[in-house]
Amino acid sequence: MSTDATPDPYREALAFGQRLQILRQRRGLTQDQLGGLVARSGSWVRSLEAGRLKTPKLPLVLRLAEVLRVRDLSDLTGDQSMHVNLFTGPGHPRFAAVREALNALQLGGGREAPPAAHMSARLSRAWQARHSAPNHRDVVGSLLPDLIRDAQAAVRAAATIADRKAAQAQLAETYFLAQFFCAYQPDAPLVWRVAERGMMAAQDSEDPHAIGLAAWLTTQAHRESTHLDAADAVTLETLRYLEPLLPNAGADVRAVAGALTVEAGLTAARRGETGTAWRYWDVARRLAETMPAGYFHPVTSFSRAVIGAHAVTVAVETHAGGESVRQAARAEAEAIPSRPRRARHRIEQARAYHLDRQPDVALATLAQAHEAAPETVQYNGHARRIILEEAEAKNADRRRRASELAARMGLLTA
């Protein structure tokens, strides 16, 4: 093997600083950028990578791991006794069956295609179950294998161009549901394959709503992989495509445009572009105010109720502690009808309180999130990081409460 090959931090016995440098470079971050994201200086990162500083304590290691999106805490620390998954969940019991359905190659006509109306009703029920069930991953995971096979069969059986386009739109929607389920599961390449299939099916359908949703999900995948330029390219190009359609569009297409505008703001916030982030959020807020009272988009959750939740995330992503707490106090979680979206909002509120050095309130808020939708908290890297950090707190009562919550989540299971 070439002696100038880049070391692999997942295999080689490297010092903490060397691992940090390799993982930082793989994420495309400068030392100054990484330092800013963990409230430290670029010179601190340089000293850490050069081995002039000791390995930080666990709370700061967890912050670094969160920013770098490491698969397992041991990938950063090198300590093989610290197998704690952060941004990859433990693997849902129904994941294997869903993956098998996604990976299967179905070329023949051995499966009878269901009527379009039947598929539409099943997809609607699946989205309703996702929003209403506390164990939403379990429910959706039980429905997906047959939905995937039937949606694929419907495309193959389409008799006319119009029928095929309609079937492609339903297939795209099925892939969107699968992408939600596959997120944070231990097979990152599968998430990207599903995202690409969803985009291809949406483009083949020529349905603006489906195309917008595919872009919305792809943007999130790019941003979570820290591919911020790619996230912007997808978001802004799709908004340019949708903009001339909006004056005559229905509520669902306008909601997708609003959700994409939020995504543009969240990407700007991730970059630290505070003014740009809030400008995009304000445009999305004005669009949300034009939606019918009580409207709630079944995929993106875009609505009047959720726009305040997005404000919390913008403030947190720009590391504005005081502003994030103010937004958290203004955005009422109980107004959000979806259990997983309500739980996610509670997690964002917890991030705000934790950023503002209110760890007791953060833990209490995470407990509320867990009550709303346990599986959402279990698979959320931000929630996991806060709980793990507070499980090491000096305060005995806080340490006990964090440990109890971690135990309920099965967080420390190898």
Q: How confident is the model at residue 177 (pLDDT cuts 50, 70, 90)?
A: very high
Q: What is the mean pLDDT of residues 130-151?
A: 94
pLDDT confidence of residue 336: 93
Contact present, 120 and 73 (Cβ < 8 Å): no
Query: What percent of the chain has pLDDT above 90?
Result: 61
DSSP for residue 87? S
Q: What is the mean pLDDT of residues 99-110?
A: 82
Q: What is the mean pLDDT of residues 173-197?
A: 91
Q: What is the mean pLDDT of residues 43-62?
A: 86
Contact present, 115 and 167 (Cβ < 8 Å): no
pLDDT confidence of residue 224: 82
pLDDT confidence of residue 157: 92
For 332-373, what is each residue's pLDDT tens digit? 888 899 999 999 999 999 999 999 999 999 999 999 999 999
| Close Cβ partners of 241 (under 8 Å, ≥ 6 residues apart) | 208, 211
Q: Where are the alpha helices (DSSP H) in 183-303?
A: 188-205, 208-224, 228-242, 251-271, 274-288
For 208-238, what is each residue's pLDDT tens digit? 999 999 999 999 989 887 789 999 999 999 9
pLDDT confidence of residue 186: 79
Contact present, 374 and 367 (Cβ < 8 Å): no
Q: How confident is the model at residue 1 (pLDDT cuts 50, 70, 90)?
A: very low
For 241-299, what is each residue's pLDDT tens digit? 999 999 999 999 999 999 999 999 999 998 889 999 999 999 999 999 999 989 999 99
Contact present, 323 and 353 (Cβ < 8 Å): no
Q: What angle do CA 199, 204, 209 make, to 5 degrees?
A: 65
User: CA 136, CA 130: separation in Å to the nearest integer?
Assistant: 5
Domains contained in the chain, CATH given: 16-77 (1.10.260.40), 92-205 (no CATH)
Cβ atoms within 10 A of the Cβ of 70, count? 24
Strand partners, 85: 72
Q: What is the mean pLDDT of residues 90-111?
A: 84
User: CA 369, CA 361: separation in Å to the nearest integer?
Assistant: 12
User: CA 206, CA 209: separation in Å to the nearest integer?
Assistant: 9
Q: In residues, how long is the chain?
A: 414
Helix (H, G, I), strand (E, B) or coil at 413: coil
Q: How confident is the model at residue 4 (pLDDT cuts 50, 70, 90)?
A: very low
Contact present, 166 and 205 (Cβ < 8 Å): yes
pLDDT confidence of residue 108: 63
User: CA 2, CA 165: separation in Å to the nearest integer?
Assistant: 50
User: CA 194, CA 329: separation in Å to the nearest integer?
Assistant: 37
User: CA 298, CA 123: separation in Å to the nearest integer?
Assistant: 10
User: CA 73, CA 110: separation in Å to the nearest integer?
Assistant: 45
Q: What is the mean pLDDT of residues 170-186?
A: 92
Better-predicted residue by pLDDT, 243 or 41: 243
Q: What is the mean pLDDT of residues 383-393?
A: 87
Strand partners, 72: 85
pLDDT confidence of residue 73: 72
Is residue 7 predicted with pLDDT exceeding 80? Answer: no
In the numeric block, the tokens 């359905």 are attached to: 101
Contact present, 323 and 283 (Cβ < 8 Å): no
| 91-95: Cβ within 8 A, 24+ apart | 91/185, 91/186, 92/137, 92/138, 92/141, 92/181, 92/185, 92/375, 93/138, 93/141, 94/137, 94/138, 94/141, 94/142, 94/144, 95/141, 95/181, 95/182, 95/185, 95/186, 95/187
Average pLDDT over all residues of the chain: 88
User: CA 390, CA 405: separation in Å to the nearest integer?
Assistant: 10
